[in-house]
Amino acid sequence: MNKNTTFLKNIIFKYLPENFPTATSQKLALQFPQAYNVEHLTEIALAKVGGYDFVDASGYDFSDYSDSKTTSVNYNTKVIEIMSVENKIGSLRICCYNLFKNCVDYFFVPKENVKDVAERCYGKQKHKQRIKARYNTKKDSYTKLEKYRVKDFTTLATL
């Protein structure tokens, strides 16, 4: 499996059934999962389930000023990175593809805690900030992000 396939199965088909209403349409989507912008479809699903509007403004994605981020655990380093958090003005709703468990893990970082988990980038990107965490396969834990993990997509969308 890969990120797009997992996002389609775990989020998009479930929360946006109108986009893929039949078993045939879902099967076709899974044949070519890279053809879909799962990041944007996830944003639409978050807004729908959460009851806010997707606005895609500077510094936030939703009418409640929160922002959606997607990421993946790196197979070799077990690190996840969420880039460009320096201008975010609200909470972060993070969906992380975990290839070790073949699932999506969810994190809600409240606005007041974004600065606690963000760090400055270096080199050519020294003007930017990111969130970087390491996934521990034995503990099923994400270092500095673990305390922000939520149980499912609905919880992530409605906090």
Take residue 131 and report the two structure tokens written for it: 């969130």
Domain range enclosing 30: 3-158
**Per-residue pLDDT for 44 more than 80?**
yes
CATH label of the domain that carries residue 108: 3.40.1350
- Per-residue pLDDT tens digits for 132-157: 999 999 999 999 999 999 999 999 99
What was the pLDDT predicted at 112? Answer: 96
What was the pLDDT predicted at 1? Answer: 77
CB 69 within 8 A of CB 62: no
> Total structural domains in the chain?
1
| Residue 38, helix vs strand vs coil | helix
pTM for this one? 0.95
CB 16 within 8 A of CB 26: no
